Amino acid sequence: MLIHRPADVLPSEITPRSLFERRREFLARSGAGLIAGAALWHGLPADARAAAKLQTTPSPLSTTEPLTEHKAVTTYNNFYEFGTDKSDPARNAGRMAVRPWTVAVEGLVGKPRRFDIDNLLKLAPLEERIYRMRCVEGWSMVIPWVGFPLAALLKEVEPLGSAKYVEFLTHYDPEIMMRRPVLDWPYGEGLRLDEALHPLTILAVGLYGEVLPNQNGAPVRLVVPWKYGFKSAKSIVTIRLTEQQPATAWNKAAPQEYGFYSNVNPEVSHPRWSQATERRIGELRKRPTLMFNGYAEQVAGLYQGMDLKKFY
């Protein structure tokens, strides 16, 4: 007996062979379309990109220096999970889904919590913080971040008396990120608790008044403006309070080059770059690098009595 079983797929749904065989071309084209779309998007005047605007209040901690162009801030990034060339993250970070997203705050705290990203955004009023950003590679930017003090989050979880350090872990998904062990994934960073509680230390969720682009560490990243950029971990999923100093990604990769503190310091050279000067992106000539990236007045007290050549 013949049982008439309907075909699983309607003939009308079958992709014509000619199209199927051009699927890669289609993918390539839609990729090109995306890039063109993104180019168009960035070419639009700022107010036309209003979809992702964030409500912010200005901060007295902001610098009044001229801002680095939006295009430079969002296309010149070190985010090794998405490639080691500085133009790679802008190309590849779009693969990362930033919703749903939770940030676990755990370890030596009275009230460990998992924050849904949308609740995290409402934890404290969002401020615009215009900070200098100095990369260990000898270049710098001025970036209008949007965020709130990390202290506001830490207060919520009530750190225990035994907590001395805060560890930050970046999201790692080998399906969409680099698999070669260039660094020990997931990317880990850390601060001393008093550094983490400092009013300059923020969790950033946006820049230029808009939601953070993925390549800049969406949906939430750390910004510690007196330290070299790599200390400011991106796309954070775990914040852990510890008693012991946490291991950090670059310190593990090259301990003689990247210390735990990594404060911007023109007097302590990196083995491969003099740290005495820097090139502000958009400028031709180098400028002198300032102690603690120009935030000495606010943060020098944290390191009183410490030999900064030893604790680099």
Residues lying near other proteins in the complex (CB under 8 A):
69, 71-72, 75-76, 80, 84, 86-87, 137, 139, 180, 182-183, 250, 253-254, 269, 271-274, 276-277, 279, 281-282, 284-286
Q: Give Cα separations from 3 to 7, 10, 11, 152 (angstroms).
A: 12, 18, 20, 67
Q: Are 201 and 174 in contact (CB under 8 A)?
A: no
In the complex with other proteins, the residue whose CB is nearer, 160 or 253, is 253
DSSP states of the chain = -------SS-GGGSPPHHHHTTHHHHHHHHHHHHHHHHHHHHHS-GGGGGGGB---EE-TT---SPPPPHHHHHHS---GGG-SSTTHHHHHGGGS--SS-EEEEEESBSS-EEEEHHHHTTSS--EEEEEEEE-TTSEEEEEEEEEEEHHHHHHHH-B-TT--EEEEEE---TTTS--S-SS-SSPEEEEEHHHHTSTT-EEEEEETTEEPPGGGT-S-EEE-TTB-GGGS--SEEEEEEESSPPP-HHHHH-TTT--SS-B--TTS--SSS-SSEEEETT-SS-EEPPGGGGTHHHHGGGGTT--TTT--
Cβ 15 to other proteins shortest distance, Å: 37
Cβ 78 to other proteins shortest distance, Å: 9
In the complex with other proteins, the residue whose CB is nearer, 30 or 269, is 269
Cβ 91 to other proteins shortest distance, Å: 12
Cβ 262 to other proteins shortest distance, Å: 14
Cβ 289 to other proteins shortest distance, Å: 12
In the complex with other proteins, the residue whose CB is nearer, 166 or 264, is 264
Cβ 299 to other proteins shortest distance, Å: 26
In the complex with other proteins, the residue whose CB is nearer, 150 or 264, is 264
In the complex with other proteins, the residue whose CB is nearer, 45 or 271, is 271
In the complex with other proteins, the residue whose CB is nearer, 139 or 303, is 139
Cβ 32 to other proteins shortest distance, Å: 17
In the complex with other proteins, the residue whose CB is nearer, 27 or 254, is 254
User: In the numeric block, which tokens belong to residue 59?
Assistant: 């901060």
